[in-house]
A and B are shown apart, each in its own frame.
Chain A
Amino acid sequence: MSEIKQTITGGSIADDVSGRYISRDHHPEQGTLLGFWLYLMSDCLIFASLFATYAVQGRSYAGGPTGAELFELPLIALNTTFLLVSSLTFGFAMIAAQAKNLGKARLWLVVTGILGLAFLCVELYEFHHLIHIGAGPQRSGFLTAFFALVGTHGLHVTFGIIWLVTLFFQLGKHGLTPENMRRLSCLSLFWHFLDLIWIFVFTFVYLMGVLP
């Protein structure tokens, strides 16, 4: 770094160059988070197309059951609670990690993981129930779009939990190293992102599906 400092003699152009050089230099650490954010944005587009499909197909019942007949809102409210609270507990894990409190961070990760699993269990129960009563994805355009959208979200939660368990053990082995902190930040973005998508799932699919 000192070499570069010496070569720059001042003046606006040199300052500009140095600024660019330095910002590029400290990018690697930031790069991962920005790159991960870009991944999340592209994931957003996947969900956008699935939401668009649901918007088009959501009322094509083909003489089959409607959303008002199928959806059990108390169950969805429970699921929403699980996911929202898990967002908060992940936040506590991040705060603990930043305070270099490894034990507390891992404890909050466990709580988050359990809430995620609870969410997944309720969702799987719902899917199982729907398929059991003959309202599977092949029943109507509405149910195809429903299973594709909610199923994709559920799949994201599943992978989030796998990632969370992996990170739990990595934290146990290596502690709060800069690498693990970076991974934790990425997972934090991912986990909160899942909750963001869920806001629109419960509003657009469940609540609006129940409305006449």
Chain B
Amino acid sequence: MSDHHHDHDAHGHDVHVTHYSTKDYLTGFVLAAILTIIPFWLVMGNVLAPETTRYVILGFAAVQLIVQMVYFLHLSSKSEGGWNMMALLLTVVILVIVMSGSIWVMHHMNENMMPGMGPNSTHTMT
């Protein structure tokens, strides 16, 4: 109980719970830079087959997302008593539903269009 009380007092004076460090930012920056340069190199240099490149660069984007969240946004399962993470997880769930749902529905709609009616009619005709 007294521990709690003490903790509270400390918070009252010190606004910032997160402590930013130069090392964190530099690590994040170097990792992000590497994870940016590789996809650009893959696409501009035509290193891999286009189909493979597509998945590889999406993978790099996902990894960079996590890197920036950890090193720049200082996100952890503990920040704001876990509510940041909860809100993020809910957002990810909705995001996945919106994205995959749209792509799935519209793809099938295009597939079932009569030839020449879909937006990609020139592709389906030939």
Contacts and interface: CB of A to CB of B under 8 A. Distances in A.
A108 to B, nearest CB: 11
Contacts of B54: 208, 211
Interface string A32-58: 011001100100110011011101110
Interface string A1-13: 1000100101000
A80 B72 CA distance: 16
B78 interface: no
A131 B64 CA distance: 32
A1 B7 CA distance: 13
Contacts, number: 147
A22 B5 contact: yes
Say whether chain B's binding surface is mostly helix, strand, loop, or mixed. Answer: helix
A189 B87 CA distance: 15
A87 B68 contact: yes
Interface of B: 1, 4-5, 8, 11-12, 15-22, 24-26, 28-29, 32-33, 36, 39-40, 43-44, 50, 53-54, 57-58, 60-61, 64-65, 68-69, 72-73, 80-81, 83-84, 87-88, 90-91, 94-95, 98-99, 101-103, 106, 119-120
Given A52-B102, A203-B61, 8 more contacts: A22-B5, A30-B80, A44-B95, A45-B95, A73-B44, A84-B33, A87-B68, A199-B65
Interface of A: 1, 5, 8, 10, 15, 18-19, 22-23, 25-26, 29-30, 33-34, 37-38, 41, 44-45, 48-49, 51-53, 55-57, 59-60, 62, 73, 77, 80, 84-85, 87-88, 91-92, 94-95, 98, 141, 178, 181-182, 185, 189, 192-193, 195-196, 199-200, 202-204, 207-208, 210-212
